[in-house]
Amino acid sequence: EAGVTQSPRYAVLQEGQAVSFWCDPISGHDTLYWYQQPRDQGPQLLVYFRDEAVIDNSQLPSDRFSAVRPKGTNSTLKIQSAKQGDTATYLCASSFGGRGNERLFFGHGTKLSVL
Amino acid sequence: GQQVQQSPASLVLQEGENAELQCNFSSTATRLQWFYQHPGGRLVSLFYNPSGTKHTGRLTSTTVTNERRSSLHISSSQTTDSGTYFCAIDPHDTNAYKVIFGKGTHLHVLP
């Protein structure tokens, strides 16, 4: 079974540039999460979906970040105008949201450096 | 306040020693998981353990829900156990599984 796939693995930007991250979850997983993990810190939830619906995006900086999952499978996270403070690893995870089977599976992440 | 707190923040052991990592969570939190992350590596789920005790290899997780705490015990530590261990919870037992992480315990096992 394929795991969670993310691309690109690395991105280096100048401040003000835009970038998109892509995630392909495990087949059949209805819940998809995007986390931001600054260096030497724990993952911080940005947004998560059940199928194509956003369940919670309260921690997503809405002026510059956006996330979509139009068909309830793959997802894209976009930063419109990157800042140095966005430097972090962006993690995607998926799970089957039904109770009793909630283990999360993570991708390798995209390591973003904003200069 | 912080919904999930982990202690210690960091731990250094000699190979062969045991480790006890702690996680305390808010009263409404549930569906606890423990994760491991090797430096620069992928996060891997070790246990989904909302209550009771679970074992795998040298790892044991014990969650006491009514005391709002969970522990991860590593016996006979090895250098390959080095990395960061995270506790994660659903803060409000939501229907859609919201997963919030603690800040982690950084473990370094010396040869």
Query: Going by C-beta distance under 8 Å and a sequence separation of 6 or more, which residues neighbour residue B94?
Result: none
Which DSSP string corresponds to B8-58?
-SEEEEETT--EEEEEEE-TT-EEEEEEEE-TTS-EEEEEE-SSEEEEETT
The per-residue pLDDT of chain B, averaged, comes to: 91
Positive or negative, the CA dihedral B58, B59, B64, B70 is positive
Q: Which fold has domain B4-110?
A: Immunoglobulin-like (2.60.40)
Which residues of chain B are within 8 Å of residue A40 when distances are taken between CB atoms? 106
The mean pLDDT of B12-27, rounded to a whole number, is 94
- Report yes or no: A21 at the B interface, CB cutoff 8 Å: no
Nearest CA distance, A61 vs chain B (angstrom) = 17
pLDDT tens across B85-102, in order?
Answer: 999 988 776 667 788 899
More confident residue, A11 or B99: A11
What is the average per-residue pLDDT within A85-101? 85
Question: Do B101 and A43 lie within an 8 Å CB cutoff?
Answer: yes
Does the pLDDT of residue A30 top 70, yes or no? yes
Q: How far apart are CA A21 and CA A110, in angstroms?
A: 7
Q: Inspect the interface and report whether the beta carbons of A42 and B44 lie closer than 8 Å.
A: no
For A7, the token pair is 């691309």
Q: Which of B34, B38, B42 to mutate to test the interface with A (most CBs of A within 10 A)?
A: B42
For A85, list phi and psi in degrees, rounded to 5.
-65, -10
Q: How many CA atoms lie within 13 A of A93 on its CB side?
A: 31
Q: Where in chain A are the domains?
A: 5-109
pLDDT level of residue A36 (50, 70, 90 thresholds) = very high
Give the residue numbers in B contacting A (CB under 8 Å), as ranges.
Answer: 31, 33, 35, 41-45, 48, 86, 88, 96-104, 106
* Residues of chain B with C-beta less than 8 angstroms from the C-beta of A91: 43
Cβ–Cβ of A108/B42 closer than 8 Å? Answer: yes
- Residues A28-52 as b/e (b if ≥16 CB within 10 A, e otherwise) read ebbbbbbbbbeeeebbebbbbbbee
Question: Taking Cα atoms as reference points, which of B94, B57, B89 lies closest to residue B73?
Answer: B57
Q: Are B70 and B4 in contact (CB under 8 A)?
A: no
Distance from CA of A15 to the nearest CA of B (A): 24
Residue B104: its chain A contacts at CB < 8 A? 41-42
DSSP conformational letter for B2: -
CB B35 within 8 A of CB B88: yes
Q: What residue ranges do the domains of chain B occupy?
A: 4-110
Instruction: Report the alpha-carbon distance of residue A4 to residue A91 in Å, rounded.
Output: 10
Chain A residues whose beta carbon lies within 8 Å of the beta carbon of residue B97: 31, 95, 97, 102
pLDDT level of residue B28 (50, 70, 90 thresholds)? confident
Question: Side chain identity at B32, as an amino acid letter?
Answer: L
Tell whether A45 is within 8 A of chain B (Cβ). Answer: yes
Query: What pairing do the DSSP bridges indicate for beta strands B10-14 and B105-110?
Result: parallel
Q: A5-109 domain in CATH 2.60.40.10?
A: yes
Reported as half-sphere exposure (CB side, CA atoms, 13 A), residue B111 has a value of: 1
Residue pLDDT, tens place only, A55-89: 999 889 889 999 999 988 999 999 999 999 999 99
- A58, A61, A86, B86 from A83: Cα distances, Å: 19, 12, 5, 27
